[in-house]
Amino acid sequence: DAVINNYSANNYEKIVRQIQILNEDYRKISGTNGFGGGVDTQIEFCLATKSPDGSITDGITKIYGALPVWDINAESTQNNSDYALKHLRHWPEDRYLNLYVAQLEQLTNDDGSKSDLLGYGTFPSELSSYPDLDGGVISDKYFGDNNYNSAFGKGRTLTHEVGHWLN
């Protein structure tokens, strides 16, 4: 997991809660929002305890600094925000789910109105061409158990994006 800017103890609690929400959703745990429709996928998530080099880690990479203007549709080059973000810290995609929490841009709709970019996940079919772009990116506004927007908060946005990653 990579957190861009403003890391604090509160962020750690949000990260732990977000992983709990993923497990509630993917394991269909009774008494949680994840118990709705669907099935128990028997997939569980946790923070990494060992980094790719074998050293002990809390599974969280804290990165401080600004990213370039976000352009999700740009070519996959060093000038693309997605590429730049994922090259700050990327762990092998065959052993880790790389998740990135960042401040994402607002999108301009066809009618000129603005809407938030909530997040996105890499589909498995994209990995043969771009293995180092693996993972999911989520807006800090929609990460964790929050009330920012009842339709997209409560940690369900990342559940959706991880669903793309799982295909």
pLDDT at position 145 is 83
Check whether 73 has a pLDDT greater than 80.
no
Residue pLDDT, tens place only, 93-126 = 889 999 988 777 777 778 888 888 888 888 988 8
- What's the pLDDT band for 19 if we cut at 50, 70, 90? very high
DSSP 109: P
The alpha carbon of 23 is separated from its chain's Cα centroid by a whole number of angstroms, namely 14
Please give the model's pTM, rounded to 2 decimal places.
0.83
Residues with catalytic roles: 161
The alpha carbon of 75 is separated from its chain's Cα centroid by a whole number of angstroms, namely 21
CA angle 167/104/131 to nearest 5° reads: 40
pLDDT at position 112 is 85
Mean pLDDT of all residues belonging to the chain: 81
Residue pLDDT, tens place only, 40-56 = 999 999 999 999 999 99
